Structure 1
Amino acid sequence: MNNIVRILGSPFSKMTLNETTDLLEKHIQEKQSELFHLITVNPEISITSQSDKEFKQIIDDANLITPDGIGIVMASKIRRQPIKERVTGFDLLYKLLKKGNEHGWSFYFLGTDEDTNKKAVEEIRNLYPNVSIVGRQHGFFSKEKESSIVSSINKLKPDILIVAMGAPRSDKWIYTYKSDLNQVKLVFGVGGSLDVIAGKVKPTPELWKKLNLEWLHRLITVPVAKGQKSRWLRQSAIPKFIYQAILKK
């Protein structure tokens, strides 16, 4: 397909942010019954999928994979199938909130801690008053509570389910309950986006974005959540990606 480029075995979309938003808008507005699972993949996630067979299968079965990292864009150019721009979960969330404000879409926000989740939802309600936030739930729940959360989401029938539990946990959780989330039209993980919206984490300055150094800004400024690997350790995936996807090619 002309709109797909394979990098380390994963099929990345070559659509721009606006084109991706238009595709998702059409899916929601046409009230298609199939749950659309989108995954944003950066170099770190791409390397993780190489050794995690379960996660690789999840990526392969997703409806759309977007390039969330300058490394993905660079690798596509090496293959002479250039991706025009990154499509990050953060940018896509804001685009869909804007569209949702126009159309009156409904959202459910799942993930991060209780205080951050609550503050993020309050901020979204202030910024997008026509968006219907039908429910929210923090991400620190027990395995035993998962079925009741899924049942509650289905009863509320959100157009869009936003999951903010980090990668690959978010997409593994989505995949586990994919067939059960039959009242949701679109679902995708947004990493730490709710932390930014809530003001817990400072947004990346525009200059850093233009220089494609968002990863470095996060590395320096964003604290590591309890139980997660240090960001310095996680960034060791970048040289592996550069070798496997760019230099080796």
Structure 2
Amino acid sequence: MFHLITANPEITIAQQTDMLLQAIVKEADLITPDGIGIVIASKRKGDPISERVTGYDLLLRLLERGNEQGWSFYFLGTDEETNLKAVEEMRSRYPNVVVAGRHNGFFSEDKEKLILNEIQQSKPDVLIIAMGAPYTDKWIYKNKRKLDGVKVVFGVGGSLDVIAGKVKPTPPVWKTLNLEWLHRLLTVPVAKGQKSRWRRQSALPKFFYRAIIKK
């Protein structure tokens, strides 16, 4: 199983004090820079990264390629209504993609066993998880041995919410100005049980100081 992590400043700061998350990041097969802060910091450190790669953009590219190749996907996460709408939308846009299965991100321990069994039986080429960071990557790490049949797995944050139409995509001008994070902060509602987006974004000044000013 190939575990991909899309790292943003929040994950970067959290893994400095969360030893489990630090181990997960070190063992990941590939880490992509999901955030303009990561790109800026890389330039300051003398090892520049050319551009950021968001989980949403990566998901769309994989779906496009999967539509050409007939890849299978399993979608796990977000609420039931949003998950269902997102999968229906992807089936419409990418008719040759095989939906190996889907389930919302709210389940009991007993239900989790059934979900893992379904994933083992269906052996999707790509397992997409939308249960929030860093919980998604910790869940993947915890169930690593039970996901052997999966080829690629990674978290996509709120990407399914965007595809389902629950959240509006970031306008191009915000992306051009590298202010996608600010657009989400101002417009995206916080799911029940999750931290306030303002609290989550408190990692940004810490990251800016440690990675860019302090190097």
TM class, shorter-chain normalised? over 0.9
In structure 1, how many angstroms separate the alpha carbons of the residues matched to 2:105 and 2:194? 14
2:42 aligns to what? 76
2:191 corresponds, among 225, 228, 244, to 225
Alignment partner of 1:44: what SS? helix
1:124 aligns to what? 90
In structure 1, how many angstroms separate the alpha carbons of the residues matched to 2:148 and 2:199? 38
- State yes or no: 1:137 paired with 2:115: no
Per-residue Cα deviation, 1:56-113 (whole angstroms, up to 9, x for no partner): 1111111011100000000000011110000111000000000000000000000000
In structure 2, how many angstroms separate the alpha carbons of the residues matched to 1:209 and 1:178? 34
1:206 aligns to what? 172
Q: CA deviation at 1:38?
A: 0.1
2:160 aligns to what? 194
1:87 corresponds, among 30, 53, 70, to 53
Moved more, 227-236 or 120-129: 227-236
1:103 corresponds, among 60, 69, 72, to 69
Q: CA deviation at 1:226?
A: 0.9
Aligned letter for 1:137?
H
Q: CA deviation at 1:229?
A: 1.1
Alignment partner of 2:102: what SS? strand
1:55 aligns to what? 21
- State yes or no: 1:159 paired with 2:125: yes
2:33 aligns to what? 67
Aligned letter for 1:239?
P
- State yes or no: 1:45 paired with 2:24: no
In structure 2, how many angstroms separate the alpha carbons of the residues matched to 1:134 and 1:42? 29
In structure 2, how many angstroms separate the alpha carbons of the residues matched to 1:45 and 1:228? 15
In structure 1, how many angstroms separate the alpha carbons of the residues matched to 2:100 and 2:44? 44
In structure 2, how many angstroms separate the alpha carbons of the residues matched to 1:86 and 1:200? 24
Aligned letter for 1:147?
K
Alignment partner of 1:180: what SS? helix
Aligned length: 215
**Runs of at least 4 residues off by over 2 Å:** none
Q: CA deviation at 1:231?
A: 0.9
Aligned letter for 1:43?
P
What is the TM-score when the length of structure 2 is the normalising length? 0.99
1:114 corresponds, among 80, 96, 100, to 80
Structure 2 unaligned residues grouped into runs of 5+: none
1:5 aligns to what? none
1:246 aligns to what? 212
Structure 1 unaligned residues grouped into runs of 5+: 1-34
Q: CA deviation at 1:144?
A: 2.4
> What RMSD in Å do the two structures reach over aligned CA positions?
0.7
Identity %: 69
Per-residue Cα deviation, 1:141-192 (whole angstroms, up to 9, x for no partner): 0122222211110101110000000001111111111111111100000000
Aligned letter for 2:81?
D
Aligned letter for 1:44?
E
1:3 aligns to what? none
In structure 1, how many angstroms separate the alpha carbons of the residues matched to 2:21 and 2:148? 22
Q: CA deviation at 1:48?
A: 1.0
Q: CA deviation at 1:233?
A: 1.1
Alignment partner of 1:148: what SS? helix
Aligned letter for 1:165?
M
